[in-house]
Structure 1
Amino acid sequence: MLEVVKYSATHKLNWNAFVRTSKNGTFLLLRDYMEYHAERFTDHSLLFYHKSKLVALLPANEAEEGIESHGGLSYGGFITDKRMKAALMLEVVKAMKTYFAGLGFRSIKYKAIPHIYHQLPAEEDLYALFRHEAILYRRDVNSVIAMANALTYSKTRRWEVRKASKSELQLQLATSYGAFMQLEQQVLQERYNLVPVHTAAEIELLAARFPENIKLYTATLGDELLAGILVYETATVAHCQYMGASAEGRKASALDLLVDWLLQEVYSHKSYFSFGISTEQAGKYLNEGLVWNKESYGARAVMHDFYELRL
Structure 2
Amino acid sequence: MEVIKYSDKYKTAWDAFVTTSKNGTFLLYRDYLKYHANRFIDHSLLFYSKGKLIALLPANVVGREVQSHGGLSYGGIVSGASMKAQLMLEVFDAMVLYFREQGFESITYKTIPYIYHQLPSGEDLYALFRHKAILYRRDLNTVIQLGNKLPYAKLRQRKIKQQKNIVLGQSSDFDQFIGMMGELLQLKYNTLPAHTATEVELLAKRFPDNIKLHTATQGETILAGILIYETATVAHCQYIGATTEGLAIGALDALTDFLITHIYSYKAYFSFGISTEQQGKYLNKHLIQNKESYGGRAVVHDFYQINL
TM-score, length of structure 2 as denominator length: 0.99
What SS does the aligned partner of 1:195 have? coil
- Matches of 1:272 and 1:188 in 2, distance apart? 26
1:260 aligned onto 2:257: yes
1:228 aligned onto 2:225: yes
Greater shift in the superposed pair: 185-194 or 211-220: 185-194
- Matches of 1:247 and 1:150 in 2, distance apart? 29
- What is the deviation of 1:272? 0.2
* Amino acid aligned to 1:214: I
> Which digits, 9 at most, give the CA deviation of each residue in 1:198-255, with x for residues without a partner?
0000000000000000000000012221000000000000000001000110111100
Structure 1 match to 2:64:
65
- Matches of 2:18 and 2:216 in 1, distance apart? 34
Q: Percent identity?
A: 61
What SS does the aligned partner of 1:125 have? helix
> Which digits, 9 at most, give the CA deviation of each residue in 1:105-144, with x for residues without a partner?
0000000000000000001000000011000000000000
* Amino acid aligned to 1:49: Y
- Matches of 2:58 and 2:13 in 1, distance apart? 14
How does 1:40-79 map onto structure 2 within 5 Å?
40-79=39-78
- Matches of 1:63 and 1:273 in 2, distance apart? 33
Count how many residue pairs are aligned between Structure 1 and Structure 2.
Answer: 308
* Amino acid aligned to 2:247: R
Structure 2 match to 1:102:
101
- Gaps spanning 5+ residues in structure 1: where? none
Structure 2 match to 1:132:
131
- Matches of 1:58 and 1:203 in 2, distance apart? 24
What SS does the aligned partner of 1:23 have? coil
1:195 aligned onto 2:192: yes
Structure 1 match to 2:246:
249
> Which digits, 9 at most, give the CA deviation of each residue in 1:241-277, with x for residues without a partner?
0010001101111000000000010000000000000
Structure 1 match to 2:279:
282
- What is the deviation of 1:191? 1.3
- Matches of 2:207 and 2:219 in 1, distance apart? 29
Structure 2 match to 1:306:
303
What SS does the aligned partner of 1:243 have? strand
- What is the deviation of 1:32? 0.1
- What is the deviation of 1:82? 0.2
Structure 2 match to 1:11:
10
Pick from 182, 187, 201 the counterpart of residue 179 of structure 2.
182
1:91 aligned onto 2:90: yes
TM-score, length of structure 1 as denominator length: 0.99
* Amino acid aligned to 2:126: Y
- Matches of 1:113 and 1:31 in 2, distance apart? 17
What SS does the aligned partner of 2:150 have? coil
- Matches of 2:157 and 2:237 in 1, distance apart? 20
- Matches of 1:196 and 1:94 in 2, distance apart? 37
- Matches of 1:222 and 1:248 in 2, distance apart? 14
- Matches of 1:257 and 1:211 in 2, distance apart? 24
- What is the deviation of 1:310? 0.3
Structure 1 match to 2:79:
80
* Amino acid aligned to 1:139: R
List structure 1 runs of 4+ shifted beyond 3 angstroms. Answer: none
* Amino acid aligned to 2:199: E
- Matches of 2:37 and 2:219 in 1, distance apart? 39
What SS does the aligned partner of 2:71 have? coil
- Matches of 1:181 and 1:214 in 2, distance apart? 14
> Which digits, 9 at most, give the CA deviation of each residue in 1:143-202, with x for residues without a partner?
0000000100001100100111xx010001110011000001111111122211000000
- Matches of 1:240 and 1:223 in 2, distance apart? 23
* Amino acid aligned to 2:289: W
What SS does the aligned partner of 2:13 have? helix
What SS does the aligned partner of 2:144 have? strand
- Matches of 1:204 and 1:20 in 2, distance apart? 23
